[in-house]
Structure 1
Amino acid sequence: MEHLKLYQKWLDDENIDEKTKEELRTIKDDEEEIQDRFYKQLAFGTAGLRGKIGAGTNRMNRYIIKIATQGLAEVIKARGKEAMDRGVAIAYDVRHYSDEFAKTAALVLAESGIKVYLFEGIRPTPELSYTIRKLNTMSGIVVTASHNPKDYNGYKVYWKEGSQILSDIAEEITEEIDKITDFSKVKEMDEKEAKERGLLNIIGKEIDDDYIEMVKGLSLRDDIDKDIKIIYTPLNGTGNKPVRRVLKERGFKNVIVVPEQENPDPDFTTVGYPNPEDIKAFEYSEKLGEKENADILVATDPDCDRVACMVKDDNGKYASLNGNQVGAILINYILESRKEQNSIPENGAIVKSIVTGDLGKTIAKEYGVETIDTLTGFKNICGKANEFERTKEYDFIFGYEESIGYVYGTKVRDKDAVISSMLLAEAAGYYKSQNRTLIDVLNDIFEKHGYYSENLFSLVLEGIEGQKRIKRMMEVYRKEYLKEIKGAKLSKFIDYQIQTETDFVTNETNKIDINPTNGLKFMLDDESWYAIRPSGTEPKIKIYIYAKGDTLEKAEEKVENIKLAVMEKLNSVE
């Protein structure tokens, strides 16, 4: 069988170190584990690479990093000496082997004659995006698995605009990767030689200072209560220094960090699953918040590109705000502030993903700002910022998605939790000066625009069989979708894979202008909708639900009805 041949090939390969081979020998009697590690090569896509750390073709290790980086090197080399001299910026997070993987990538690029700017230590992902633009590099790499569990790592590639690569560049890199037949074809330059030849350049404080000044320059107002008490947790990730520095330099005096989660910890000992979208990540923050009587709790994920918050309610308890709600509050704060300053551009736009709720769109419309929908992922959201820069069709103001990712302005072309944390603190301080909390603001928005509720849930299906079942679920639901849920009838169906929208009111099917992806969206006649898609980075199928009602209770009831109906249908697929 092919996976056993590949397993033996790694054991026999003189280019693979003894420590890696020893790890492989420990699983010699576990064919299921061997199969999982070798049944495929970790696929390089528009999200780069992401997977469990370990030896094997379907794992994150320095050999897979080398091959991917050589693929990138060939793509850059094909663009000539100017592209090679512009080079590549590289950042990495706190995870196991992140520093080693980053250095490996740097030395593979150097061997190909490509200049590299490598950060001296851990840095947040958005700072990498900023650095690409600041240093005018051709590309960028960040070694991170974002909010995945501790046994994962990843490798994301960016292009010259500072945003993640889209399918065109990803396909070029994949073509070059496929040409590499064995590890002997990929070489690393000696680190000392790379430095002496000016191919490896270590960067740090000077970029940090520029980045922090840029973030502070995006602040919107100073007529705020800066004594607001904030509990902050970086969840043992890269956000600790930049977020605290920005808040301090903006004058927020009462920022208290969760001590157990302050410093880097690749095992995420206190949280396990370091995803601030999950309310369990706030356990330590809530305890500290209650002790300190804090107004707001803020958490960033390990690579500090996503941010979540909880707010003290009227009962003194902390209520969680989901990604759609935080997005709506930020849009409201940004546009309210800019209207006062008379600085909303005539052709201003916010950009959101197709699975992000519509409340932000409703607020934007009130201020004369357009809302553009894209496929999921900030590579697509900031891809629109790149497009607007070229066409001048719109002026990009804000981008966001329901999975707690936000960016304001165009200096960073990825979601940025440093910028977003500052704006959240500002908004909380501004509304506190009016004796209002962020919950009060959200309720005011609901009263004005209608009550919105949403839910995201996933079915996790790991391994080969799990991937096959996810594929079957998508195939079955695509053909046997629900026509009615609790009296709400299907009005529109969008199949993003074949780029069509079917209107059941007019009985017309039309093409849509959006890149193809494996996703489905269903609109009901009561203003509810839901979407289904496989995750691009995790072994799960994701279901997004959104509903509007006359009251919050009615909206929540609609969400629950959709969830139960869709779950029943998906679980019936064996």
Structure 2
Amino acid sequence: MTIQERYRLWSEQPYFDEATRQELKQITDPQEIEDRFYSDLEFGTGGLRGIIAAGTNRMNKYVIRKATQGLAECVCDHGAEGMKRGVVIAYDSRRFSYEFAVEAALVLAQNGIKAYLFNSLRPTPELSFAVRYLHALAGIVVTASHNPKTYNGYKVYWEDGGQVPPVKADQILARIEARESWLDIEPMSEVEAIRNGLLVIIGEEIDQPYLARIRRLALHPDLITEKGEAVRIVYTPLHGAGNILVRRALAELGFSSVFVVPEQELPDPEFTTVPYPNPEIPTTFELARKYGLEKNADLLLATDPDADRLGVVLRSRDGDYRQLTGNQIGVLLTYYILSQKKALDILPENATIIKTIASTDLADQVAHYFGANVENVLTGFKFIAEKEQEMETGGWGTFQFGFEESYGYLAGDFVRDKDAVIASVLLAEAALYYQQIEGRTLFDVLESIYEHFGYYLDDQESLVLEGIQGKEEISKIMESFRQTEILELSGIRIEKSDDYEQRNGKNLITGQTYALTLPRSNVLRFSFLGGGYVMVRPSGTEPKIKVYFSVKAESMLDAEETLYKLKTDVMNQIALIRASIHETTLQ
């Protein structure tokens, strides 16, 4: 079908509700119609994510129906047993999250598949836990994570509790693409689904065992029981799903000095107190900082709307508050977990941490110092979960901790996705331990790590390039970097150049080439001689190209200066590439 044929179908066919048809009929800009209908919203990185609106390239209940029908057909491939095991569904506080979750549940029911639907918003990691706990075949969570309020999304999980693996995602996508018609998917009524046992509402019976497993992760539970009130915490769920369970997890262990930012406590799909509900952004912490000063808090914690990411701000010795990067949090938790398990003589010989290739190499050094192995995987937490499952099945490693630089962390073996509830508990415990036992702050610990291993500093830049033209521009930027042999960046010698799309690499010092064993992915990574790197990749969920920077230096001042120069030079190179693209287009 052409773009105009799709537009007419959606704006005229009675299958689409009146609100949808009226919204589309009011569009007067041809480019807006083109953007909404030039393609179907891409099912990638385990699911969908897009702007909430009518159209095939937007998030709406009809796109949800089609995606869920594709999933349902894959579940039905597993026969009556798979259909009975069913699919667990969770959702966050965004616009239409509940409605989309119900829509998915009723499409599954229409296919004879049992759907377990949470009775209110829940963290994404609890969905992962629930899939495993209920022995379900799959899971769905309706969320757009930390994206702006105009977005929503739909992520699919498989029976191990991890985001759907690439092979299974391809199978679901094939079913979605094979269905040409938008008009033949009719959800079952809610009353009928409940009556037939195909819609089951769940809640506290999942919360309790999930929280119990989190409590068992504490390395010094007696210390928390005795001294937990000593660490003063200000927490904000940013209007999202973390509010109840983060507070319960902290309280049940013994952290009693927890204050919740009242303006951001309750669900709010408009996220009226923050420009973006993203704990990576410093402005997200403005209210938390205010209350931190009032309450003399040691820690400020923020979770994103689906509570899988954790942002952390610490009070320094001079009383000011400074935000940690995702890599700094990951390194601190790696150091705390491994050092304490080593001291307690409970660190297994095959202890392993898992991190992404976009995350700091400092964690590798810390892990090796304590005798732990490191597995580096592609960007995306589903690859961390897959590697954990692989180790568990093969018996060749014991998972201790996993993280990615974009504020995602995981410990334990009962969740297969990043978990801000777990991370909040472990970070609070680390702060308490160093405060009470060693008389140090987390900043002191971080500084000692830098002094021992070198000053690593990391940052990231993202270019938002939307629509058809943006997609083409991202492709051409990657092509330009891929076709040029780059020997240095900002005067820093490159040791290795790795192309994960071509699955090969080259040592630029020796000239030796080698194969990369990780799955194919559109990623370029340039590793510096002596430590650090630049990595370039398109986002799998957003219209962005991302550039990751990491430098190593002898002092923090040197690291800051080197990082600034490196970022400036690389981003200028990208600007020149874009200018060349635009010039060619005009010709």
Scaled by the length of structure 1, what TM-score is found? 0.98
Contact persistence 2:91–2:122 (CA under 8 A): yes
> What does residue range 141-540 of structure 1 map to in structure 2 within 5 Å?
141-221=140-220, 222-224=222-224, 225-226=227-228, 227-433=230-436, 434-480=438-484, 482-540=486-544
Quote the Cα distance in structure 1 between the aligned partners of 2:184 and 2:209: 39
Match of 1:133 in 2: 132
Quote the Cα distance in structure 2 between the aligned partners of 1:432 and 1:252: 14
Quote the Cα distance in structure 2 between the aligned partners of 1:393 and 1:509: 28
> What does residue range 9-20 of structure 1 map to in structure 2 within 5 Å?
9-20=9-20
Q: Name the SS for the 2:223 alignment partner.
A: coil
Structure 1 unpaired stretches of 5+ = none
Alignment deviations for residues 396-427 of structure 1 (CA, whole Å, 9 cap, x no partner): 11110000100001100000000000001111
Quote the Cα distance in structure 1 between the aligned partners of 2:153 and 2:118: 17
Please tell me whether residue 546 in structure 1 is matched to residue 550 in structure 2: yes
Match of 1:122 in 2: 121
Please tell me whether residue 90 in structure 1 is matched to residue 76 in structure 2: no
Contact persistence 1:47–1:536 (CA under 8 A): no
Which range moved further: 3-12 or 258-267?
3-12
Contact persistence 2:522–2:537 (CA under 8 A): yes
Contact persistence 1:143–1:155 (CA under 8 A): yes
Match of 1:2 in 2: 2
| Aligned residue identity for 1:50 | R
Quote the Cα distance in structure 1 between the aligned partners of 2:485 and 2:319: 44
Q: How far 1:184 moved relative to its partner? A: 2.8
Quote the Cα distance in structure 1 between the aligned partners of 2:57 and 2:489: 40
Quote the Cα distance in structure 2 between the aligned partners of 1:248 and 1:78: 44
Change (3 A) 1:485 1:174: closer
Contact persistence 1:216–1:246 (CA under 8 A): yes
Contact persistence 2:490–2:570 (CA under 8 A): no
Q: How far 1:12 moved relative to its partner? A: 2.3
Give the aligned length.
573
Structure 2 unpaired stretches of 5+ = 582-587
Scaled by the length of structure 2, what TM-score is found? 0.96
Quote the Cα distance in structure 2 between the aligned partners of 1:175 and 1:223: 53
Q: Name the SS for the 1:184 alignment partner.
A: coil
Alignment deviations for residues 171-210 of structure 1 (CA, whole Å, 9 cap, x no partner): 1001111121223321211111111111110001111111
Contact persistence 2:487–2:508 (CA under 8 A): no
Contact persistence 1:349–1:371 (CA under 8 A): yes
Q: How far 1:481 moved relative to its partner? A: 5.0
Alignment deviations for residues 9-56 of structure 1 (CA, whole Å, 9 cap, x no partner): 1122221111110111111x2111111111110011233000000000
Change (3 A) 1:338 1:15: same
Quote the Cα distance in structure 2 between the aligned partners of 1:481 and 1:71: 42
Alignment deviations for residues 341-367 of structure 1 (CA, whole Å, 9 cap, x no partner): 211111111000011001111111111
Contact persistence 1:55–1:61 (CA under 8 A): yes
Quote the Cα distance in structure 2 between the aligned partners of 1:556 and 1:381: 30
Alignment deviations for residues 132-170 of structure 1 (CA, whole Å, 9 cap, x no partner): 010000000000000000000000000000000111001
Quote the Cα distance in structure 2 between the aligned partners of 1:253 and 1:489: 51
Quote the Cα distance in structure 1 between the aligned partners of 2:408 and 2:75: 29
Quote the Cα distance in structure 2 between the aligned partners of 1:274 and 1:528: 30
| Aligned residue identity for 1:23 | E
Quote the Cα distance in structure 2 between the aligned partners of 1:155 and 1:90: 10
Q: How far 1:258 moved relative to its partner? A: 0.6
Quote the Cα distance in structure 2 between the aligned partners of 1:165 and 1:494: 26
Q: Name the SS for the 1:424 alignment partner.
A: helix
Match of 1:103 in 2: 102
Q: Name the SS for the 1:470 alignment partner.
A: helix
Q: How far 1:2 moved relative to its partner? A: 2.5
